[in-house]
Amino acid sequence: MFMTARYGGWVGRVLRVDLSTGRITTEDTVEKYKDYIGGTGIGYKVLWDEVPADTKVFDPENKIIFATGPLAGTSAPCNGRTAVTTLWPTCWPRHLVGTGHMGGHFAAEMKYAGFDAIIIEGRADHPVWLRVADGKAVIMDARGVWGQGIRRTTYEISRQMGPEAVVAAIGQSGENLVPMSVIMNSVSHSAGGGAVMGSKNLKAIGVLGAGSIHIAGDKEEWEKAVKYHLSLFGANNQAVVPNSPQPWAEHYNPATRWVASEGRQWGSANPPIDTGPCDPHNLNRIAYRSNSAAFFLGEQGWRHTVRGNGCTGCPIRCHTIIKVPAVAAKYGIPETGQNKCSGLVFGKSFFRSFPDGLMGQTSIEACMVGMHLADDLGVWNNYGQLQRDFQKCYYEGIFESKVGEKDFRSYSWDKFEKGDPAFLFELLPRIAAKEGDLATALGLGTGYMLEAWGIAETDWKSDHNLHYWKLGHPKHHSNEDAGQTGVIINTQYNRDAQCHSHTNFTRNGLPIEVQKKLAADLWGSPDAVDTPGAFTPMNVYKARMAKWSLLRKELHDSISLCNWMGPWSSSPLRERGYRGDDTIESLLYSLVTGDKKSRQELDEAAERIFVLHRALTIRGMGTKQMRTKHDTIPDWVYGDDKDRVPFTKGTIQMDKIDIQNAMLMFYEEAGWDKETGSPTRETYRRLGLADVAGELGKKGLLA
Amino acid sequence: MKSPIDTGGIAGQILSIIAPGRPLSRRKVLKLCGATAAGMASWSFFGPGAAGSVPIIITEQSHGLVIGDPTRCVACRRCELACTDFNDGKSSPATSRIKVRRNINFGPTGLYTGQQTQGDWGTGLIVQDFCKQCPHPVPCADACPNAAIEVKPPVNARVIDPEKCTGCKICLKACPWEMISFDPETTKATKCFLCNGRPKCVEACPAEALTYVSWVDLTGKVPPRITPTLNKPYACGDCHK
């Protein structure tokens, strides 16, 4: 009997599959992982307890953990993400802990199948896939699908399991241990770590279940809480202000992702559907507020939109399905495609220009070809770094000087320069197949590519246009969105930061005066936020906001709320003074699980998870000198192409001394040693991580 | 989920005579009604149930039904989740009374349809399946050997009485649209009861893809582009034009 019966939310069991021995076991989620909630919490805990510090990414001893939290699969909005935690294949120069956050329908279906998480360990001696259905797991032979793309694999497994199954699969890229590989489910929802699955000979995991998730609290209370939460929703990335004037709106801001308006239509729906004014009080129109195709591709995006799509239970459809009939005959690919953000423009962003301009028909065809190839081969773009690296290496002659002439000449560079999307058919399959020097190097990820070619990382760190940060990865919502707060956040992870707590506030579209009022409530002073591009020197409130942002990210990745939408620190409701509610996580968590936890208590659990990530990083690097060796900041942050001075209007550049000060303030807020940037023994103890401190202490890694 | 009917029971034997190994279609049920119209009492061979041996023949129209617009559906499944979260206190798409999950990946016709595939892996079109609140004949109610499916106020929805339901799953097979689910936790069948007139699925849809509309009897109307054929069982002519 599982202890979870006392709680709702969790389905109660974690599945553990050892591919080396074929042994399949289960453990009690609550008994073993409750203090870590779920998601990344479970992932970090497993890595800490079970994967030794010197493990290499493709060793059988590395583990990959697919984990959800108590809200996944319920009616709580935005609950679709599965946290995928493992040693990160593109983390340079050594493979440290990393997580990917895969949306789609996998998280929910895994829970309906009876499991909160799946831990994969060992290595199968031949290609296998894992069938998880109604509480039972079976290791299946995958030799029939090995070598196939993600689409074909999904179809084959769905034939065997049934059309309702959700399949998370790798493509040829992951099979071939290309570090820049993804795991993909529900057409377009990916997480990195595809090569780790490949190294284990694991082609896919199919989940299917008729089970249910119990809501511990009163169902009417639950309904009320969910509706209240929805009432605070903005558009994608919690933009609470529309991007054009609307009859109901006090403000508008052209930069936000709230793009709906009368006359703006899902143009390729049959019949076309008008998105309309979308008054925020009308919860039956939330899905029309956002449109990634329109946000990233402009007018042509609207014309080609079929509908919004996305994860289980999420009213914000941030993946957009677009239909471009011309590509079927021209490139032999399906006429519909779907994705968002850098995945949507995966193909387009390789090119510097197109024959009919950057917003013309060819550019959208490049998007279609890119999505089709990348999401089938399972190639990762490292948040656009792949494409930026590609352009730099080509236009600065790096490819030509570093790869063999025969390999270089084997590409149709004239097609590339002309902006012909067909070029992608030459490039992407070769990355997935590790074919030739050029493609193989790109598939390594930036850090290992530079190392292979003897290029200093500092060259990348000083280039403004590359957005490269450190450890092989780029920035993800940094100083351009939130000044010092953004910089601090971008120092903390071993891949791009994946944190949106800060940008979902600073880019919510509200006038700065309103933001400042809300910031005072949230972080103690209006000075916590500035207008992006008109920053002021560091203060302690920004450090508080940085810590809060990081903790909320880990909280969301553990209870299964989407940090691309949360936290709900503001709302579109004028009558609330645009206030959001930062206790919403605690309300939902308490009702669904029956484990009543206040905002502070949940924040503490989040801090435990975040600090465990820090401890994993310290142990993995074998040094406690985090401030100087890990939390580094690229030079481009301190430069400005127009020689403007920091803290003047129009520049996002930061000041070096001020940022040093910012890091110290953050360490202080976090309870970390200011000299090293490592958590103190007292901080570990406060968070219930005394044993972690003990192990680090023995290794001389404690501040 | 489809569940095999208990073919050992008398009801199962009868159903397998009518449609061996296959679910009953609406058309077959109509035919069945015709065939047995000479004496509705012949339905009583389902055996003496506690609630009376004669099944309930429902002739009252439901006040309304939920309908879906597939073009607007964004596949978020908030309708399915609202149905069971707010009615049953659990998230359970398998027992939801509106069904979207089964059509999300490949559409209602499954994955053998090549270019015609719907759903996320095909054209993107998501078809929502919902209970039609059938007018007479009501296949699920007619098939229930325990007369557990009744018309209930306030909106005349066809509702399962859990006290009478024995979990035999015959109604699952009888519904031509496979809209009835078996809940393994309660061991009862469950179907749409229109949330007594305020359907939670409709309330939950973030894309205005669902509406609650009144039931309009269009049986006497011939669609403009269809050649009318006389395919109604003779015995129905008493009530239907």
Quote ipTM for the complex.
Answer: 0.96
Q: Quick: pLDDT tens for A476-503.
A: 999 999 999 999 999 999 999 999 999 9
Do the Cβ atoms of A650 and A644 come closer than 8 Å? yes
Do the Cβ atoms of A196 and A395 come closer than 8 Å? no
Count of Cβ atoms closer than 10 Å to residue A152 Cβ: 14
* Measured torsion, CA atoms of residues A513, A515, A518, A520, in degrees rounded to the nearest 10: -70
Q: Where in chain A is the domain with CATH 3.60.9.10?
A: 3-208
The answer on pLDDT for A620 being more than 50 is: yes
Closest CA to B79 of B178, B220, B212: B212
Count of Cβ atoms closer than 10 Å to residue A579 Cβ: 18
Q: What is the pLDDT of residue B24?
A: 45
Pairwise CA distance, residues A354 & A331, whole Å? 17
Pairwise CA distance, residues B28 & B89, whole Å? 36
Do the Cβ atoms of A562 and A503 come closer than 8 Å? no
CATH topology of domain A3-208: Aldehyde Ferredoxin Oxidoreductase;  A, domain 1 (3.60.9)
- For domain A290-469, is the CATH number 1.10.569.10? yes
Chain-chain contact of A309 with B120 (C-beta, under 8 angstroms): yes
Using pLDDT thresholds of 50, 70 and 90, give the confidence band for residue A619.
Answer: very high
Closest CA to A175 of A199, A208, A139, A207: A199
Cα Rg of chain A, angstroms = 24
**Cβ-based contacts of A226 with chain B (< 8 Å):** 85
Chain-chain contact of A222 with B89 (C-beta, under 8 angstroms): yes
> Quick check: A236 contacting B, CB < 8 Å?
no
Q: Quick: pLDDT tens for A513-556.
A: 999 999 999 999 999 999 999 999 999 999 999 999 999 999 99
Cα torsion A211, A217, A220, A226: sign: negative
Of the listed ranges A408-417, A461-470, B24-33, the one predicted with least confidence: B24-33
Q: Where in chain A is the domain with CATH 1.10.569.10?
A: 290-469
| Omega within 30 of 0 (cis) for the link into B154 | yes
Q: How far away is chain B from the Cα of A152, in angstroms, using its nearest Cα?
A: 11
Average pLDDT over residues B219-230: 60
Q: Quick: pLDDT tens for A94-135.
A: 999 999 999 999 999 999 999 999 999 999 999 999 999 999
Q: What is the pLDDT of residue A265?
A: 98
Retrieve residue B52's tokens.
């009376």
Helices (H), A290-412: 292-297, 299-304, 326-331, 341-344, 361-377, 385-395, 398-402, 405-409
Chain-chain contact of A164 with B208 (C-beta, under 8 angstroms): no
A positions 16-35 inside 8 Å of B (CB)? none
Average pLDDT over residues B196-203: 97
Strands A468-470 and A473-474: antiparallel
Q: How many CB pairs (< 8 A) connect A and B?
A: 143
* Domain covering B10-214: architecture: 2-Layer Sandwich (3.30)
Pairwise CA distance, residues A129 & A120, whole Å? 11
* Torsions phi, psi for A175 (to 5 deg): -60, -40
Using pLDDT thresholds of 50, 70 and 90, give the confidence band for residue B111.
Answer: confident
Give the HSE-up count for residue A217: Cα atoms under 13 Å, Cβ half-sphere.
23
Run of H or E including A287: helix A286-289
Across all residues in chain A, what is the average pLDDT?
97
Q: Quick: pLDDT tens for A41-88.
A: 999 999 999 999 999 999 999 999 999 999 999 999 999 999 999 999
The whole-model pTM stands at: 0.92
Pairwise CA distance, residues A92 & A620, whole Å? 12
* Torsions phi, psi for B164 (to 5 deg): -90, -25
Using pLDDT thresholds of 50, 70 and 90, give the confidence band for residue B25.
Answer: very low
Q: What is the pLDDT of residue A6?
A: 81
Do the Cβ atoms of A438 and A383 come closer than 8 Å? no
Q: What is the pLDDT of residue A244?
A: 98
Count of Cβ atoms closer than 10 Å to residue B46 Cβ: 20
> Quick check: A224 contacting B, CB < 8 Å?
no
Of B78, B92, B123, the CB nearest to A212: B92
> Quick check: A5 contacting B, CB < 8 Å?
no
- Residues from B contacting A (CB-CB < 8 Å) are 1, 71-78, 81-82, 84-95, 101-102, 104-106, 110-111, 120-124, 184-185, 200, 203-208
Count of Cβ atoms closer than 10 Å to residue B57 Cβ: 14
- A207 burial (CB, 10 Å; 0-12 / 13-18 / 19+) is buried
Do the Cβ atoms of A535 and A646 come closer than 8 Å? yes
Give the residue extent of every domain in chain B. 10-214
**Cβ-based contacts of B1 with chain A (< 8 Å):** 210
Average pLDDT over residues A611-640: 97
Of the listed ranges A88-92, A539-543, A628-632, B21-25, the one predicted with least confidence: B21-25
Chain-chain contact of B111 with A307 (C-beta, under 8 angstroms): no
3-state secondary structure of B2: coil
Q: Quick: pLDDT tens for B125-155.
A: 999 999 999 988 999 999 999 999 999 999 9
Of A166, A214, A288, the CB nearest to B90: A214
- For domain A475-566+598-698, is the CATH number 1.10.760.10? no
DSSP string, A434-466: T-SHHHHHHHH-HHHHHHHTT--HHHHHT-TTT
Q: Quick: pLDDT tens for B54-87.
A: 567 888 889 999 999 999 999 999 999 999 999 9
**Cβ-based contacts of A309 with chain B (< 8 Å):** 74-75, 120, 124
